[in-house]
A and B are shown apart, each in its own frame.
Chain A
Amino acid sequence: QKEVEQNSGPLSVPEGAIASLNCTYSDRGSQSFFWYRQYSGKSPELIMSIYSNGDKEDGRFTAQLNKASQYVSLLIRDSQPSDSATYLCAVTHSGGSNYKLTFGKGTLLTVNP
């Protein structure tokens, strides 16, 4: 069973601070890593994808991947109240000829004005 683990939170940060969200995964052969944002009552929205070790930046978001440690993180700089949501980590692992996406349970982020 491929596992993706996240701290369920809630993680509470003040407006303007850096929010750090973490995720670990069990399958060492995993190749693709995604962060989805899910507002309450809404569907997941893809915000970041990362495929190789290191950092990937997109606006206020930075994804970090360390395959040796089986760890992926998402940093949100200058956090805004509109960033308050559940952040889902998802990992693609090979299942024979198919790449399956496994989700963590999500971390609830609250940004306080």
Chain B
Amino acid sequence: EAGVAQSPRYKIIEKRQSVAFWCNPISGHATLYWYQQILGQGPKLLIQFQNNGVVDDSQLPKDRFSAERLKGVDSTLKIQPAKLEDSAVYLCASSEHPPGTSVYNEQFFGPGTRLTVL
């Protein structure tokens, strides 16, 4: 079974530029998550999708971050404009069950995109 795919793996941009990340979840997984992991911290949830609908985006900085999952499969996360504090690893994860249907909802992570904002 193929895992969660993400691209690019690394990105270096200057502040105020824009950047986009792509994620393809495990086949058949209904729920897709984007996390931000700053060095020395645990992952922090940015946004959660069930199929192509947003379940939770309460911690997404909506003035600069946006995300979509148009066909209920792959997803993109965009930052525009980027700030220095956005330097982090952006992790995509997926889980099999729709949110709220099971506590046994193990999440599996992709390799992440390491973003450096100069």
State the total of A-B contacts with C-beta under 8 angstroms.
61
Q: Which residues of A contact B105 (CB under 8 A)?
A: 32, 92, 99
User: B41, B56, B91, B103: which contacts A43 (Cβ < 8 A)?
Assistant: B91
Q: Is the CB of B40 within 8 A of A105?
A: yes
A26-62 residues at the B interface, CB under 8 angstroms: 31-32, 34, 36, 42-46, 49, 51
Pick the residue among A49, A95, A105 that contacts B106 (CB under 8 A). A49
Q: How far is the CA of A51 from the CA of B2 in the complex (A)?
A: 26
- Interface residue range, chain A: 20 to 34
Q: A46 to B48, Cβ gap below 8 A?
A: no
* Complex: A100 Cα to B103 Cα, angstroms: 10
Q: Which residues of chain A come closer than 8 Å to B45, judged between CB atoms?
A: 100-101
- Known A-B contacts A42-B111, A46-B108; the reply to A92 vs B44 at CB < 8 A is no
Instruction: List residues of chain A with CB within 8 A of the CB of B112.
Output: 42-43
Interface of A is mostly: strand
Contact B42 A51 (CB under 8 A): no
The CA-CA distance from A106 to B38 in the complex, in Å, is 12
Nearest chain-B residue to A46 (Cβ)?
Answer: B106
Task: Kindly identify, within residues 86 to 109 of chain A, every residue whose CB is under 8 Å from any CB belonging to chain B.
Answer: 88, 90, 92, 95, 97-101, 103-106
Interface mask (B92-114 → A, CB under 8 Å = 1, otherwise 0)? 00000001101111111111100
| Cross-chain contact of B100 among A31, A43, A98, A106 (Cβ < 8 A) | A98
Interface residues of A, Cβ cutoff 8 Å to B? 4, 8, 31-32, 34, 36, 42-46, 49, 51, 88, 90, 92, 95, 97-101, 103-106
